[in-house]
Amino acid sequence: MRSVPRARIIGIRALPQVSRSMDRLKSNRRSALMARIHGKDTMPELVVRRLTYFLGYRYRVHAKDLPGSPDLAFKGRKKAIFVHGCFWHRHRCRRGKMPNTHRKFWVPKLRGNRLRDLKAQAQLRRLGWRYLVIWECELKHLDRISARISYFLASSPDNSSRHTVNSRASSQRRDGRLD
Ligand SMILES: [Zn+2]
């Protein structure tokens, strides 16, 4: 059977199938694939990019000149979107838990990631930028994510109080783990 390259045709709906098929992969192949996913163009990020493009917005990717190199940067609007993997960036969800094994390695590494995120976000705010964090686990609800992105990008700085929620320390504690 001839298979069409999936990435070209999936659109955004096929994401759950990807993780299902990952289970069937042999473990060595899976770790090779995971390594690739942790690289620059992770799957959740591609989903968000495609979604945002579909909504009619254009952006720069991995803007190196901005703190934290946001995954999507909207220069004219001074807005940025980060797409965070729950494990690597310590989301407050099941996937963001600190592993129980090899803790000497994982604890400083994952804490370091989290602190780096907070620092970059604080720097962005000082530069007058606003940002939205989208967590990997939230991509199950693409309609909600799509609405959040539209609202975030369409809102002007004056009526965006709901989005500056991300700027407050309390919310940082809620959204990601600090411990
Ligand atoms: Zn999560």
CATH level 3 topology of 40-175: Endonuclease; Chain A (3.40.960)
pLDDT tens, residue by residue, 45-85: 999 999 999 999 999 999 999 999 999 999 999 999 999 99
In the reported structure, the alpha carbon of residue 12 is separated from the centroid of ligand 1 by a whole-number distance in angstroms of 18
Q: Taking the mean position of all CA atoms in its chain, how far away is CA 101?
A: 25
AA letter at 34: M
pLDDT tens, residue by residue, 132-175: 999 999 998 988 999 999 999 998 765 444 444 444 444 555 57
pLDDT tens, residue by residue, 117-143: 999 999 999 999 999 999 999 998 988
In the reported structure, the alpha carbon of residue 1 is separated from the centroid of ligand 1 by a whole-number distance in angstroms of 36
In the reported structure, the alpha carbon of residue 43 is separated from the centroid of ligand 1 by a whole-number distance in angstroms of 15
In the reported structure, the alpha carbon of residue 56 is separated from the centroid of ligand 1 by a whole-number distance in angstroms of 27
In the reported structure, the alpha carbon of residue 152 is separated from the centroid of ligand 1 by a whole-number distance in angstroms of 20
Q: For the chain, what's the residue count?
A: 179
| Most trustworthy range by pLDDT among 1-10, 16-25, 45-54, 72-81 | 72-81
- Supply the pTM of this predicted model: 0.71
In the reported structure, the alpha carbon of residue 59 is separated from the centroid of ligand 1 by a whole-number distance in angstroms of 24
In the reported structure, the alpha carbon of residue 134 is separated from the centroid of ligand 1 by a whole-number distance in angstroms of 9
Cα dist from 52 to 31, 48, 55, 64, 177, whole Å: 29, 6, 5, 20, 27
- 120-129 burial code (b ≥16 CB/10 A, e <16): bbeebeeeeb
Task: Give the residue extent of every domain in the chain.
Answer: 1-37, 40-175
Q: Residue 137 burial by CB count (10 A; 0-12/13-18/19+): exposed, middle or buried?
A: middle
Cα angle 160-163-164, degrees, rounded to a multiple of 5: 90
The C-alpha atoms of residue 46 and residue 27 are separated, in whole angstroms, by: 24
Q: Which two tokens stand for residue 148?
A: 């959040």
What DSSP designation does 70 have? -
Token pair 């530069």 in the structure block, residue: 127
